Every structure is written in structure tokens, then in C-alpha cells.
């Protein structure tokens, strides 16, 4: 049983709004979007189709949830597929800002690559869970402290295909 928290229509409307803001902020400059796998895939795909900017896409793997766990564990990051980001405007897209561990780690790693600018966008920001302060430049939705699935987010590698964000009921 899944309780719908954010409908597919609400998500698409918000992605439209974020795309307009991102285009205004970058003002036709080339951007490299770095998507954090695997949860950001749907957000990344929908957003990039709406951006009328010169784009490059790069992907990294970062995960702190394994299998059936609903609490964050040790962070694993794989960045070996990244292109040279020096002098590029970089926008990191992630599915959810929870404790802040992932984005804080990525900020340090990516700043070392000397991009022209570095911004962060998250589809979801979970209220009351952040341990490290990092303010994303773009936030889709703020949500309560519940374990959510759908629109790229999973539980044990399932439910990513749902067109909405839901709370998985026990």
C-alpha cells in the first residue's frame, strides 16, 4: 500500500518551474548537469528536456541506503566516469536531501575540480533530517521525515517507476 504524497501532476508542474528558474539563472551559458544515480534519473530526464541551454550530462553513483534499509548507512561514491569539469558551470541533481552527507561530500570533491560555478538541485528536501548544512540552489518540494518512494526513489530497488512520490506503508 502506498500513500501518495506528491502527485505526478504536481511533480511535472514543479519541474517546469525549476527549469524556468535554472534557465534564467544560467542565461544561455553552457551547463554540465551531474546526476546522482540512481534516484535522480527521472528528475534529470524530465528537467533536461525542458532546459533550453547548451547541456552536457554526466553521472555519478552515490548511495547510503542498501537493500531493505530505510536508514542511511555508510556513503559510497563512485565518480570515475566524470568528465573534466574545470571551468564549466556545474549543476548537481540529486533525488533527495536527507542528512546532507551525500551533497556535502560531492561539494568537496567537485570544488576540487575547479568548476566555474557549482550549484545543487534536489527534487525533495526532507525536513528535520539534515545533519550537515548545505543549502541547495533549487528545491522541488519539502517533505516530512518519512521514507518515500517513486519518481526514481526506491525501496530495495523497487518502486522507482512510480510517476508520483509516495510513502510506503508497512
Structural domains present in the chain: 8-58+68-143 (3.40.50.2020)
Instruction: For residue 106, give the nearest of 162, 46, 40, 156 by alpha carbon.
Output: 40
Question: Is-above-0.75 flag for pTM?
Answer: yes
Helix (H, G, I), strand (E, B) or coil at 12: helix
Active-site residue set: 98
CA end-to-end span of the chain, whole Å? Answer: 8
d(CA 38, CA 130) in angstroms, rounded, equals 21
Q: Tens digits of per-residue pLDDT, 126-169?
A: 998 777 788 999 999 999 999 999 999 999 889 999 999 999 88
Task: Pick the more confident residue, 79 or 138.
Answer: 138
Amino acid at each position: 500500500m502506498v500513500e501518495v504524497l506528491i502527485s505526478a501532476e504536481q511533480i511535472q508542474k514543479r519541474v517546469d518551474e525549476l527549469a524556468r528558474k535554472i534557465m534564467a539563472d544560467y542565461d544561455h551559458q553552457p551547463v554540465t548537469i551531474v546526476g546522482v544515480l540512481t534516484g535522480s534519473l527521472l528528475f534529470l530526464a524530465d528537467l533536461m528536456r525542458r532546459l533550453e541551454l547548451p547541456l552536457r550530462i554526466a553521472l555519478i553513483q552515490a548511495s547510503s541506503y542498501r537493500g531493505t534499509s530505510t536508514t542511511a548507512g555508510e556513503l559510497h561514491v563512485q565518480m570515475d566516469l566524470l568528465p573534466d569539469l574545470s571551468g564549466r558551470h556545474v549543476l548537481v541533481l540529486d533525488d533527495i536531501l536527507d542528512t546532507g552527507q551525500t551533497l556535502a561530500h560531492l561539494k568537496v570533491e567537485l570544488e576540487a575540480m575547479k568548476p566555474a560555478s557549482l550549484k545543487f538541485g534536489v527534487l525533495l528536501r526532507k525536513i528535520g533530517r539534515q545533519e550537515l548544512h548545505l543549502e541547495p540552489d533549487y528545491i522541488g518540494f519539502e517533505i516530512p521525515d518519512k521514507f518515500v518512494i517513486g519518481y526514481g526513489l526506491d525501496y530495495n530497488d523497487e518502486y522507482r517507476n512510480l510517476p508520483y512520490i509516495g510513502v510506503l506503508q508497512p
